[in-house]
């Protein structure tokens, strides 16, 4: 069984401290995190389930890919504290949209909304909570009716 507790040391921006010099160099010199991302990472790491967060390197890669393909609509399944939704929303064009799904809204008030507001992207994020499967089926049904 996998141990989900945090056993690795984490740097200020969410990179795992590593003996691998190349990995450490990438973490130290290539991350470009917004103030909202830094705040949200700091707050999220205080939570016992913080190991569910994307690493900052992975999130930056995903954000860069969304930017490179000029993504306008994205889906975030398992929003948790909103770090991935925030990171993607920050690179979307002004008409871009993130539909963020989570089974609970437990983290919305204390984590997601303050970070999204701090970054000025709250209008780009459509948060929905409940059964992901039911929400996706509902979205599919609405999409099919529009065609």
Residue 120's pLDDT is 98
With cut-offs at 50, 70 and 90, classify the pLDDT of residue 5.
very low
* Predicted confidence (pLDDT) per residue in 54-104, tens digit: 788 888 999 999 999 999 999 999 999 999 999 999 999 999 999 999 999
Please state, rounded to an integer, the average pLDDT across all residues of the chain. Answer: 84
Q: Which domains, from first to last, does the chain contain?
A: 21-146 (3.40.50.150)
Residue 117's pLDDT is 98
CA–CA distance, 73 with 100 (Å, rounded to integer): 11
* Predicted confidence (pLDDT) per residue in 106-118, tens digit: 999 999 999 999 9
Residue 69's pLDDT is 98
pLDDT at 47 over 50: yes
pLDDT at 2 over 70: no
Distance of CA 132 to the CA centre of its chain: 16
Residue 3's pLDDT is 38
Q: What is the pTM of this model?
A: 0.80
**Residue in this structure with the two tokens 């930017």, named with its chain if needed:** 67
CA–CA distance, 122 with 120 (Å, rounded to integer): 6
Distance of CA 102 to the CA centre of its chain: 12
Residue 6's pLDDT is 36
DSSP H helix total and E strand total for the chain: 6, 3
3-state secondary structure of 11: coil
Classify residue 2 by burial, with Cβ atoms within 10 Å: 0-12, 13-18, 19+.
exposed
> Which residues, including other chains, have CB under 8 Å from residue 57's CB and lie 6 or more apart?
15, 26, 27, 30, 31
Residue 81's pLDDT is 93
- 3-state SS string over 13-25? CCCECCCCHHHHH
């Amino acid at each position: 069984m996998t141990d989900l507790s945090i056993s690795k040391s984490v740097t200020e921006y969410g990179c795992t401290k590593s003996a691998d010099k190349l990995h450490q160099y990438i973490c130290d010199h290539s991350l470009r995190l917004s103030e909202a991302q830094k705040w949200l990472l700091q707050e999220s790491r205080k939570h016992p389930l913080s190991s569910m967060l994307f690493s900052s390197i992975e999130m930056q890669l995903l954000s860069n890919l969304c930017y490179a393909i000029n993504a306008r609509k994205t889906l975030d399944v398992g929003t948790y504290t909103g770090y991935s939704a925030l990171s993607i929303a920050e690179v979307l064009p002004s008409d871009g949209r993130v539909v963020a799904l989570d089974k609970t809204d437990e983290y919305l008030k204390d984590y997601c909304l303050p970070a999204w507001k701090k970054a000025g992207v709250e209008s780009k994020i459509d948060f929905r909570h409940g059964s992901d499967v039911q929400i996706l089926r509902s979205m599919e049904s609405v999409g099919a009716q529009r065609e």
